[in-house]
Structure 1
């Protein structure tokens, strides 16, 4: 299954998606896959779309690995893990019509949903030229990172590339409200076995694999809120939207020791006001490596 190059066939080109729930492959037309991948509601999808274009703007591209020539040449096989509504895949598929793209997701954006990914990727060894993973730091437990990364490397062809994108909050420039929210978030994650502090050190885990001993790191910083300019305001909308949904409200308000109503006010009013006077720094980090 591939992407047709002629404009007359453009609308019928396909991307292959895999649902992790049952590991059954499904061929879906590009025009239809957004209807299939509805994580929970349209606001979730909008936020994922916004984040995609946000990270693409910061890095001035959809990837850091040196794969442009291969994608242009065609018949390049790309796997996106945690593809969500398929925004990243669609962006690449529309530009590199001769290459083939696969998406793997559990049809949910919420980290408390179980996924079959942790039992292993449903693909044979040495299968893809490029294996990409979007932020999944809220999902992957500390003791699962080695396995997930080893699986990504396993399904990558020799000479192919693996790349992981994730977010890290440095705590520099944060005000008291954002610091409290972060600590509640961190405590909630640790109770599930998820350790956010692993993120800046993912290169060490990738490097520990004998097939990817040279690891590169591409890092971009941004300020959350109005003091970060247009970029900061876009990320503020994404951040508020993520923390203002029902799942976040249900999970984080007990850790903060406040009611759901008080939590809503903290997120939608108090935090927004605080961000006018603070400059909290976040990092987007891409780790990438070539398989021996």
Structure 2
């Protein structure tokens, strides 16, 4: 049996969770479809912030590379590509004041005025190449771009990350992915539709678990390390499960997602709305596994 949690109880659990965190195809068609994946309004940006704190809680840190001592004692240069609203950078720039932080994104949803003095944002498209010289940064990081990067683009993106990293510096990639462990029939349909929608744009979600092979193929990063964490999506995953459920539903239960996924599912918009309600009920009686994975490597 699942946990029947009231809306007020769920709200209280979310508040408790964040308190704990605080303490420690045409171009137009593609642009429309990508609204499903890229932050475009305050709610999307809020979810990006929430996901950052969720990741930090799961891993108990903001990165897996052994770079912290250098961040504390030196003037390190750190780059976050596809930085979105810059949540990760804002967090680190406030903590590691001796280091310099740079965020790059082609969608300028990051703050330009209210930010630490050691943080700068640059509007540029990573698919055109990173606008920096070789060996520029001590730490280069990418997160949650698997919905956007096409299968034939990963090698270029990772090569660019390695190129702008200094010798003895680190590259790190963070990506979420779902398994079929504990999954129910409604979530299974949603997962299949999402996977097919991505494949129609040339994005293969299965590449995520093999990104280490792409990193290893570069002669400068032959050794790759993996850090993997998992949780249960939904109320049976306790407070963390409720938070990731809210993030998941926010990502899927909206007009743009409905427009993109209902044709793939072969259902009407009204049927899609019913499906979302069924999914919430399904979470109460299942324990689907949700994973986060980090790959990191030191540049020779």
Q: Which range, TM-score by smaller chain?
A: 0.7 to 0.9
- Residue 173 of structure 1 corresponds to 182
- Residue 100 of structure 2 corresponds to 100
Length, aligned pairs only? 249
Q: Could you list the runs of 5+ residues in structure 2 that have no partner in the other structure?
A: 1-37, 110-123
Instruction: Work out the CA distance in 1 between the residues paired with 2:274 and 2:295.
Output: 37
Is 1:285 paired with 2:296?
no
Is 1:42 paired with 2:77?
no
Map 1:199-238 onto structure 2 (within 5 A): 199-238=208-247
Q: CA deviation at 1:127?
A: 0.4
Say if 1:166 and 1:284, in contact at 8 Å, map to a contact too: yes
Instruction: Work out the CA distance in 2 between the residues paired with 1:192 and 1:175.
Output: 26
Say if 1:226 and 1:276, in contact at 8 Å, map to a contact too: yes
Q: TM-score, normalised by structure 1?
A: 0.83
Q: CA deviation at 1:108?
A: 7.0
Map 1:247-266 onto structure 2 (within 5 A): 247-266=256-275
Instruction: Work out the CA distance in 2 between the residues paired with 1:136 and 1:262.
Output: 29
Instruction: Work out the CA distance in 2 between the residues paired with 1:165 and 1:223.
Output: 19
Q: CA deviation at 1:190?
A: 0.5
Say if 1:223 and 1:279, in contact at 8 Å, map to a contact too: yes
Instruction: Work out the CA distance in 2 between the residues paired with 1:101 and 1:108.
Output: 16
Q: CA deviation at 1:264?
A: 2.1
Say if 2:82 and 2:126, in contact at 8 Å, map to a contact too: no
Q: Could you list the runs of 5+ residues in structure 1 that have no partner in the other structure?
A: 1-37, 110-114
Say if 2:235 and 2:284, in contact at 8 Å, map to a contact too: yes
1:167-220: CA deviation from partner (whole Å, max 9, x where unpaired):
111111100000000000000100100000010111111011000000000000
Say if 2:148 and 2:203, in contact at 8 Å, map to a contact too: yes
Is 1:127 paired with 2:142?
no
RMSD: 1.3
- Residue 119 of structure 2 corresponds to none
Is 1:187 paired with 2:196?
yes
- Residue 3 of structure 1 corresponds to none
Say if 1:74 and 1:96, in contact at 8 Å, map to a contact too: no
Say if 2:231 and 2:290, in contact at 8 Å, map to a contact too: yes
Give the 3 Å change call, closer, same or farther, for CA 108–190 of structure 1 in structure 2.
farther
Instruction: Work out the CA distance in 2 between the residues paired with 1:86 and 1:142.
Output: 25
1:38-65: CA deviation from partner (whole Å, max 9, x where unpaired):
9421100110010000000000000000
Say if 2:105 and 2:125, in contact at 8 Å, map to a contact too: no
* Runs of 4+ displaced beyond 4 Å: none
Instruction: Work out the CA distance in 1 between the residues paired with 2:158 and 2:269.
Output: 37
Instruction: Work out the CA distance in 1 between the residues paired with 2:240 and 2:176.
Output: 15
- Residue 241 of structure 1 corresponds to 250
Map 1:151-166 onto structure 2 (within 5 A): 151-166=160-175
